[in-house]
């Protein structure tokens, strides 16, 4: 009966209901977006890291992967020791850092070099031409931004060096590579110029060959289902204790570290999410209270003809919740559109990896939004429900008749 009365009541004031639904929908959309934002970067990073298939990353002490140009010495020795562990499937030694590249007699441009031997790590995906071969010493794969900056295509030759003398406009001790393909680099920032060569070539370019310097060792573990993350944590702890000169992160540990650096986004989403909840509560509460004020006579009559007090309290609560439930399509529709729009704006920032998203729709974000909106509906119904609970029948009827 109550549901029936609520629906008829909402339908009775269609324009008001539609406005309320729109208002709550917009506030709910903001709440959804803030839920998507609060863990969005972390989820997005998690997805990218998972795609690579490596559970542990070994970096120079005190750094995150490719956070700086720092390397650690004796990289292949450490990689071999890690590879000998029974839990490990394979390891991928990687060198990264800043270099300069130029066409023959062209102006050099700064670029980031990834030194690794395919197919061990899929940090890039070839979109045109061919990939590097294993221990390839003559070819390179470049990013689209790099190809555009130098005006090169597959088949062209470029010169790469770690240093560039700007006074004479020349690369110091350059090495020549033929471009075999254009690739999409997953961790590249927008418009970042990148190229990939074999591990040994990158060490030679960056002067790391003698000390066998590496920027990163990616470690893949045996698939152990749900225990993989704990195995990763155990493996990284073992690496840290065995090789004090390096840092080791499981995916979960890396995400936790990143999360610590994303406090700004968490606070931002907390504040805006809270504001949207307050708006939602005030909006629903005001609408229901206003509607109640117009219907006090009706409610008094319902009490007079025998409807129980708790029935009317439920009626008001359900009205609040119904406004929230009816607004859910607007909440999710508008929320996703706004999130996509904001994501497009934010990921245009130059220091953001291309594949990273700020707003990620996860089951957790959906569930939290639903729960929080229902809580808003319930909170909004408190005051009107209190008004109904203390409604005095006789004076209200008297007022209605005189009025």
Partner 1 sequence: MKVTDPIVVARDLCKDYVLDGHDIHALRAVSLSVQPGEFVSIMGPSGCGKSTLLHLLGAVDVPTSGELRLFGRDLIGATDAIRTELRLRHLGFVFQRFFLLPMLTAGENVALPALEARLPKTERDARVREVLTTVGLAHRLRHKPGQLSGGEQQRVAIARALVNRPQLLLADEPTGELDEATGTQIAQLLQSLHTAGVAIVLVTHNPELAARASRRLRMRDGHIEAES
The first and second tokens of residue 381, run together, are 């119904």
Residue with Cβ nearer partner 1 (322 or 369): 322
Residue with Cβ nearer partner 1 (240 or 295): 295
SS3 percent helix, strand, coil of the chain, rounded to 5, is: 55, 20, 25
The stretch among 43-51, 107-115, 227-235, 303-311 that binds partner 1 (CB under 8 A) is 303-311
Near partner 1 in 363-392, by CB under 8 A:
392
The first and second tokens of residue 359, run together, are 């707003």
Near partner 1 in 310-349, by CB under 8 A:
311
258 counts as binding partner 1 under rule CB under 8 A: no
Strand 88-102 with 109-115, pairing: antiparallel
Give CA–CA dist 61/371, Å, rounded. 42
Report the length, in residues, of the chain.
403
- The least distance separating partner 1 from the CB of residue 33, rounded to whole angstroms, comes to 36
Near partner 1 in 6-45, by CB under 8 A:
8-9, 11-12
Near partner 1 in 105-144, by CB under 8 A:
none
Of 384, 397, 374, which is closest to residue 301 (Cα–Cα)? 397
- The least distance separating partner 1 from the CB of residue 25, rounded to whole angstroms, comes to 23
CA dihedral 227, 229, 230, 236 (to 10 degrees): 140
Residue with Cβ nearer partner 1 (271 or 304): 304
The stretch among 86-94, 176-184, 298-306, 380-388 that binds partner 1 (CB under 8 A) is 298-306
DSSP 3-state of 93: strand
Query: Pick from 155, 260, 306, 363: which binds partner 1 (CB under 8 A)?
Result: 306
DSSP 3-state of 227: helix
- The least distance separating partner 1 from the CB of residue 3, rounded to whole angstroms, comes to 12
Query: Pick from 16, 47, 398, 399: which binds partner 1 (CB under 8 A)?
Result: 398
Residue with Cβ nearer partner 1 (5 or 379): 5
Give CA–CA dist 156/154, Å, rounded. 6
Give CA–CA dist 198/137, Å, rounded. 6
Count of H-run helices and E-run strands, the chain: 14, 12
- The least distance separating partner 1 from the CB of residue 4, rounded to whole angstroms, comes to 8
Residue ranges in contact with partner 1 by CB under 8 A: 1, 5, 8-9, 11-12, 297-298, 301-309, 311, 392-394, 397-398, 400-401
């Amino acid at each position: 009966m109550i549901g029936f009365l609520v629906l008829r009541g909402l339908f009775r004031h269609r324009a008001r209901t539609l406005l309320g639904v729109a208002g709550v929908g917009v506030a709910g959309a903001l709440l959804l977006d803030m839920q998507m934002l609060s863990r969005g970067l972390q989820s997005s990073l998690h997805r990218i890291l998972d795609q690579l298939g490596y559970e542990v990353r070994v970096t120079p002490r005190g750094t995150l992967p490719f956070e700086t140009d720092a390397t650690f010495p004796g990289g292949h020795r450490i990689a071999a020791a890690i590879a000998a562990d029974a839990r490990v499937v394979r390891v991928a030694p990687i060198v990264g850092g800043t270099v300069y590249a130029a066409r023959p007699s062209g102006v050099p441009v700064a670029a980031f070099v990834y030194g690794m031997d395919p197919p061990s790590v899929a940090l890039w995906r070839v979109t045109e031409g061919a990939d590097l071969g294993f221990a390839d010493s003559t070819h390179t794969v470049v990013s689209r931004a790099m190809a555009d900056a130098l005006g090169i295509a597959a088949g062209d030759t470029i010169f790469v060096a770690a240093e560039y003398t700007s006074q004479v406009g020349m690369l110091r001790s350059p090495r020549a590579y033929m471009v075999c393909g254009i690739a999409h680099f997953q961790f590249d920032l927008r418009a970042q110029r990148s190229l990939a060569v074999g591990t040994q070539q990158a060490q030679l370019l960056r002067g790391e060959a003698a000390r066998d310097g590496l920027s990163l060792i990616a470690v893949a573990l045996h698939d152990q289902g749900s225990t993989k993350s704990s195995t990763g944590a155990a493996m990284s702890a073992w690496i840290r204790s065995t090789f004090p000169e390096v840092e080791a992160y499981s995916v979960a540990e890396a995400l936790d570290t990143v999360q610590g650096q994303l406090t700004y986004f968490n606070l931002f989403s907390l504040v805006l999410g809270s504001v949207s909840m307050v708006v939602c509560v005030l909006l629903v509460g005001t609408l229901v209270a206003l509607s109640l004020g117009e219907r006090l006579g009706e409610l008094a009559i319902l009490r007079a003809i025998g409807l129980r007090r708790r029935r009317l309290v439920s009626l008001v609560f359900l009205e609040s919740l119904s406004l929230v439930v009816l607004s859910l399509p607007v909440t999710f529709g508008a929320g996703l559109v706004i999130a996509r729009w904001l994501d497009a704006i934010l990921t245009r920032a130059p220091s953001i990896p291309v594949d990273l998203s700020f707003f990620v729709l996860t089951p957790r974000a959906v569930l939290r939004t639903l729960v929080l909106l229902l809580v808003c509906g319930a909170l909004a119904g408190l005051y009107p429900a209190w008004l109904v609970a203390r409604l005095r029948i006789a004076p209200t009827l008297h007022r209605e008749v005189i009025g």
